Amino acid sequence: MGKKRRREVERPTIHPKNKYSENPPDFAFLASLYPSFEPFVFYSRDGRPRIHWTDFNATRELTRVLLLHDHGINWWIPDGQLCPTVPNRSNYIHWIEDLLSSDIIPKTCNNGDNVRGFDIGTGANCIYPLLGASLLGWSFVGSDVTDIALEWAEKNVTNNPHISELIEIRKVESCPTSGEESDNGESACGESNLDLNGVEEQAVPSSSSPFDLSIDANNIYHGPPVLHGVVRDGEKFDFCMCNPPFFETMEEAGLNPKTSCGGTPKEMVCPGGEKAFISRIIEDSVALKQTFRWYTSMVGRKLNLKILTSKLWEVGATVVKTTEFVQGKTCRWGLAWTFMPPTRKIISPHVTEKKNLSFMLEGVQRQFSAVDVLHSIESFFHSTGASCKLNSALFTVDITASKDHCNAILKNEVNDVDEDAGDKHLQETSSSSSCFHVPSNSLSFRVLVFQQIPGTLLVKGSLQHGDSPFSGLFSSIFQQLEADLSCKFCREKATS
């Protein structure tokens, strides 16, 4: 049933304001106008003109031609630097345009219609400032740390005198706090489409949550400054944007054999990957607050999107918005937040729409049964200290978790339980009342396990008290549970 519902959901489409929404790039036409592009174009069996997306030179020449032909921008990058795709980057720009024009937060009148943005890790390509300035007349500060990125970003600005006064390239002084330096930069590959209708609007729960923003000590960002220390005193911006380093290693970055967008280690990789880098942006946003109307970033993994969204509730963001960017079978997400007071009350979807969650465990190994999964669920939550009550007859586990227990789960701090303490805990919960009394400052939910067909189990979770101040974390916790159970019980899927 879950698969059927997913097929019925309309796929995200390119932003309606995107220049390519109605007229995708015509490779044959461009090849006839630009001889330098013609050698990279070939024709498939159905007669359609194509390029090899695994050829860096082909993707770079396509980007150069599109920027020149459709935007009047002169552009180039040296070998090995990250090569952006124009329709994809335009989608991000137009999504921010929608954020700025929305009535969720008050519009600023300080600079009239002069919109000012900040591009974190602009890269040698400087694509976002160039597009934002040429499409919408926005002014930008583009930051970076490497000499080659700064040199070529500056060249790409000065080679376009009609917009050069709108763009400032700013050097980030490298001051890592550990021996291993790591930089910000872009890392998104491939063409992707934006679903404007898929934008999810969220509001902070009424009670702020005192969760710790820190992440695992081995995955903390130790690179140069991101926003705090780069933004100057007294500066104000309408937004910031970022394609963070998605990956923790270059080996991980090179797992997609179907694209070649280039990219140096400093652009693609940082310890802790995108979660650590965007967590630093969130930390900086807490310090800078209303210096920016909107803070935004791309996110490469949906699990990280859930975790980062929870972090934003923890630090007091007033509004969070997300959207999905899709390219073929590859998904990226957009995350935006603000500390500006909202102009209207928004009901949190964490309470109204996400009381019930479910996922399928497919490919469960033959030696495991629903009972094994049920006991593993109990152990997963019990190991953080949460209170659990297992009912093997109904195949349910009732869980009550405090703020500290939730924080431990989200930081993957699931530890082995002391055996004696565990026996005592089971005795206490088994003798408790079936109504399962819930403290008002805790998160209470029930998890059920259903046998579907051999090798497939359905795991459902239901929030018992939606008025808990921590109910916004339910989705993230359930996502962590899914990852844990899949790792323990499911066969690894063969990769093609």
Residues making up the annotated binding site for S-adenosyl-L-methionine are 89, 121, 144, 243
Mention every residue, 6+ apart, whose C-beta is less than 8 A from residue 479. Answer: 302, 303, 306, 307
> Which one, of 389, 390, 349, lies nearest residue 472 by Cα?
349
* Chain centroid, CA 210 distance in Å: 22
Give yes or no for a contact between 82 and 123, defined as CB atoms under 8 angstroms apart: yes
Give yes or no for a contact between 326 and 195, defined as CB atoms under 8 angstroms apart: yes
Mention every residue, 6+ apart, whose C-beta is less than 8 A from residue 251. Answer: none
Residue 445 burial (CB < 10 Å; 0-12/13-18/19+)?
buried
- Evaluate the CA torsion angle 178, 180, 184, 187 in order and state its sign: negative
* Chain centroid, CA 3 distance in Å: 23
Q: Which amino acid makes up residue 439? A: P
Query: Within the chain, what is the greatest distance between any pair of CA atoms?
Result: 80
What is the crossing angle of helices 127-136 and 147-158, to 10°?
20
Specify binding-site residues. 89, 121, 144, 243
> Which one, of 472, 204, 444, lies nearest residue 347 by Cα?
204
> Which one, of 423, 378, 420, 419, lies nearest residue 399 by Cα?
378
